[in-house]
Amino acid sequence: MSVADTLIKAQPAPPDRAKRWTTARISGTILVMFWVAAAIGLVLYLYSAWDIAKIERYGPKFLSGLWTTLSLVGVSIAIGAVISLPVALGRVSKNPVISRIAFAYVYVFRGTPLIAQLFLIYYGLGSFRPQLEAVGLWLFFRDAWNCALFAFSLNTSAYQAEILRGAIDSVPRGQWEGAAALGLNRLQAFWKVILPQALIVALRPYGNEIILMIKGSAIVALVTVFDLMGETRRAFSRTYDFQAYIWAAVFYFCIVEALRNVWNLLEARLTRHLKR
Amino acid sequence: MDNYLTLLSFGDQGWGDEIAWGVLITVSLALATLPVGLFIGFMIAVAKQSEEWTLRTAADIYTTIFRGLPELLTLFLVYFGLQIGIQQLLKAVGLGGAIEINTFFAGVIALALVFSSYASEVFLSAFRAIPKGQYEGGYALGLRRGRVMRSIIVPQLIRIALPGLGNLWMILIKDTALVSAIGLTDILRQTGVAARVTKEAFLFFGLAFLLYLVLALISSIGLNRLEAYGKRGEQVR
């Protein structure tokens, strides 16, 4: 029987095996290079198309359009949140009539394009001008911005109601029972126990909904509201310069990405007690 | 009331046939986009879980861009961008003349870009729901990669991805309404023309609204059937 009496000397690590050029690596490299080229091309294009006269003329308009977009979305999301609460409660209601009405409301607004809803309200309500004038609502519906606000609020309220309902459903029944055992009535239980837990579940879908609304709000340009898209279309039709659309894309992309990242941070912060 | 019926009738007096044509355009646009979007989305999803970081990055950039832009803007970028791009290209090789891109074609491309970037996320999460053992089992049987994908993974993948893809189909139908902005004669365009000519805006836009609702209803019934069919092998609990 033999016993090893010397240890093998420490060896240097073997050299890395040369990476092989697989199909995946080749195509991946080509695609990344395509994106890099596209990014460089974009910057070069915007640099070569830079025209200080146009920027001075249309730049401030773009910013005011941006403000229109953001305020329209912000206000309609807020109004929609208020409307969504009773609708969501209607959806979870045990009363079949109420829950069917709430379901129909949600289905109608989620089943049709936002643009069709907007056209129906903006152009369609013009058919009822005498009646609307009689009740004094015509002044409201005459303005495209108000119509957009109205349509967007109703539309987002249906989506938000669905988000809220899903979130309320996700809270275990034991939470209701526990609250009841502590002597809270149903309203208190909902407000102080269920809703705070539901909102954490709803956080991510809410963020998605805001992003969808920002993107969806571009269609108000078609009913003569000069939001970011509207200003873009106006600038393009005046100058026939394609950089208007590129700038709009850059603006929208930055808003959406900023919002997405802020939302991720917000979610990380608000759910830090759930981390293990 | 009779007046309305005349307006909606088929033939010279009414707008029924024009609007029916619009429905056909809307449906065929959605149906034409679906396979393109599904194919690109599937490819992007495969790329996203590749071991190659380059492929993953390229796929991530694609979805970030097309999920970050408004659908309407994507449509305009594709429509005007392609038109101007091709004109520049023709000028460069010495051919002049204005080029008109087919609006249906531009619509399919723009909608497919958006659809595929969302579909890739659906496929990706479906891929993640399939245990690794399914691949390993396939390889252990001596099947090649493509064969494992086709015969083992995809059949399970479709079943898992079906609800998510169903949602995307509903969104796609709604997004087709945007092509009316570049002049494609879909439901909204045709009803809009009718509304302008007849001054019966509420009637015609209400009709458009209802038509989209009917399309959504038919789709959700169809999708429910499809999902039930997909689940037929599962145990009833």
- pLDDT for the residue B215: 95
CA nearest to A248 within chain B: B73
Short-list A273, A84, A93, CA closest to A197: A273
Separation in Å, CA B72 to CA A83, A108, A189:
27, 22, 43
Beta carbons within 8 Å of A198's beta carbon, 6+ residues apart: A164, A167, A168, A170, A171
A138 Cβ contact partners less than 8 Å away, ≥ 6 residues apart:
A129, A132
Q: Which amino acid is at A272?
A: R
Q: Would an 8 Å CB–CB cutoff place B217 in contact with chain A? A: yes
Among candidates A25, A112, A249 on the partner chain, residue whose Cβ is nearest the Cβ of B73: A249
The pLDDT-based confidence of A1 (bands split at 50, 70, 90) is: low
pLDDT in the model for residue B116: 96
Between residues A4 and A89, the one the model is more confident about: A89
Contact partners, residue B215, CB within 8 Å, separation at least 6: B23, B26, B27, B173
- Interchain pair A116, B177: CB under 8 A: yes
- Give me the CATH code for the B2-230 domain, please: 1.10.3720.10
Q: Among the listed ranges A134-143, A232-241, B170-179, which one has the minimum average pLDDT value?
A: A134-143
A146: tokens are 């108000």
CB contact under 8 A, B209 and A117: yes
Superfamily of domain A58-274: MetI-like (1.10.3720.10)
Scan residues 146-175 of A and list those with Cβ closer than 8 Å to B: none
Among B37, B57, B109, B38, CA closest to A27: B57
Q: Which residues contact residue B19 at a Cβ distance below 8 angstroms, ignoring those fewer than 6 apart? A: B8, B187, B190, B191, B194, B204, B207, B211
Top residue of B209, B211, B213, B214 to mutate, by most chain A CBs within 10 Å, is B209
User: Locate tokens 């059949």: which residue?
Assistant: B155
Indicate the average pLDDT of chain B. Answer: 90
Q: What is the mean pLDDT of residues B26-54?
A: 94
- Can you give the pLDDT at residue B4? 75
Mean pLDDT for all residues in chain A: 91
Split at pLDDT 50, 70, 90, the class of A239 is confident
Across the range A6-21, mean pLDDT stands at: 86
Query: For the purposes of burial, counting CB atoms within 10 Å of the CB of B219, is it exposed (0-12), middle (13-18) or buried (19 or more)?
Result: middle
Tokens 């146009």 -> residue:
A54
The C-alpha R_g of chain A, in whole angstroms, comes to 28
Q: Which of residues 135-174 of B touch A (CB under 8 A)?
A: 170, 173-174
Q: Is the pLDDT of residue A42 over 80?
A: yes
Residues of A in contact with B73 (CB under 8 A): 218, 229, 232, 245, 248-249, 252
Whether chain A has a CB inside 8 Å of the CB on B77: the answer is yes
How do residues B129-156 score in pLDDT, each as one tens digit?
Answer: 999 999 999 999 999 989 999 999 999 9
Q: What is the mean pLDDT of residues A37-51?
A: 91
Q: Is the pLDDT of residue B164 over 70?
A: yes
Q: Residue B121, CB half-sphere, CA atoms under 13 Å: how many?
A: 14
Residues 219-238 of A with CB under 8 A from B: 219, 221-222, 229, 232-233, 236
Distance CA B188, CA B209 (A): 9
Cβ B201–A111 below 8 Å, yes or no?
A: no
Q: What is the pLDDT of residue A6?
A: 84
CA dihedral of B123, B128, B131, B133, whole degrees rounded to 10: 80
Q: B95-133, pLDDT tens digit by residue?
A: 766 777 889 999 999 999 999 999 999 999 999 999 999
Interface-testing mutation among B19, B26, B55, with chain A (most A C-beta atoms within 10 A): B55
pLDDT, position B6:
75
For chain B, positions 184-213, list CB contacts with chain A under 8 A.
188, 192, 195, 200-203, 205-206, 208-209, 212-213
Q: How sure is the predictor about B1, in pLDDT bands with cuts at 50, 70 and 90? A: low
Q: What's the pLDDT at A264?
A: 92
Contact B77 A245 (CB under 8 A): yes
CA dihedral A65, A70, A72, A77 (to 10 degrees): 170
The residue of B23, B44, B73 whose CB has the most chain A CBs within 10 angstroms, and thus the best one to mutate to test that interface, is: B73
Token digits of residue A205: 């879908």
**Residue for token pair 């002044």:** A139
The predicted complex's ipTM stands at 0.89
A245/B203 touch (CB, cutoff 8 Å), yes or no: no
Kindly state the average pLDDT of the residues A225-251: 91
Distance of CA B93 to the CA centre of its chain: 34
Compute the distance between CA of residue A114 and CA of residue B202 in angstroms, rounded to an integer: 16
Tell me which chain B residue has its CA closest to the CA of residue A28: B55
Q: Is A45 on the interface with B (CB under 8 A)?
A: no
Residue B235: the pLDDT is 67
Contact yes or no for B70 and A216 at CB 8 A: yes
- Mutual orientation of helices A23-48 and B53-68 as an angle, nearest 10°? 40
The span from the CA of A114 to the CA of A120, in Å, is 10
pLDDT of residue A212: 94
Model pLDDT, residue A22: 86
Residue B8 — pLDDT band, cuts 50, 70, 90? confident
Residue of A nearest to B217 (CA): A111
**In chain B, where the domains are located:** 2-230
Q: Which residue of A has its CA nearest to B46?
A: A24
End-to-end CA distance of chain A: 54
Q: Which among B23, B44, B48, B52 is the top mutation candidate for probing chain A, defined by the most A β-carbons within 10 Å of its own β-carbon?
A: B52
Q: Do A242 and B81 touch (CB under 8 A)?
A: yes
Closest CA–CA distance from residue B230 to any residue of chain A (Å): 24
- Asked if residue B233 has pLDDT above 80, the reply is no
| Mean of pLDDT values over A3-32 | 87
Distance of alpha carbon A238 from alpha carbon A216, whole angstroms: 24
Query: Over 90: is that where the pLDDT of B84 sits?
Result: no
At B236 the pLDDT is: 64
| Chain B residues 30-59 within an 8 A CB cutoff of chain A | 47, 50-59
Q: Please, where are the H alpha helices in A123-242?
A: 129-135, 138-142, 144-170, 173-181, 186-188, 195-216, 228-239
Of B57, B80, B188, the CB nearest to A119: B188
What is the DSSP secondary-structure string of A205-221? Answer: HHHHHHHHHHHHGGGGG
Element (H, E) at B3: helix B2-8
Of B51, B68, B181, nearest to A253 by CB-CB distance is B68
For A9, the token pair is 């000397």
Write out pLDDT tens, residues A106-148: 999 999 999 999 999 999 888 888 888 888 888 888 888 999 9
Q: Summarize the confidence of residues B27-48 as an average pLDDT.
A: 95
Sign of the alpha-carbon torsion through B192, B181, B210, A155:
negative
Confidence of residue B237 (pLDDT cuts 50, 70, 90): low
Residue of A31, A217, A221 lying closest to B55 (CB–CB): A31
Show residues of chain A in contact with B217, CB under 8 Å.
111
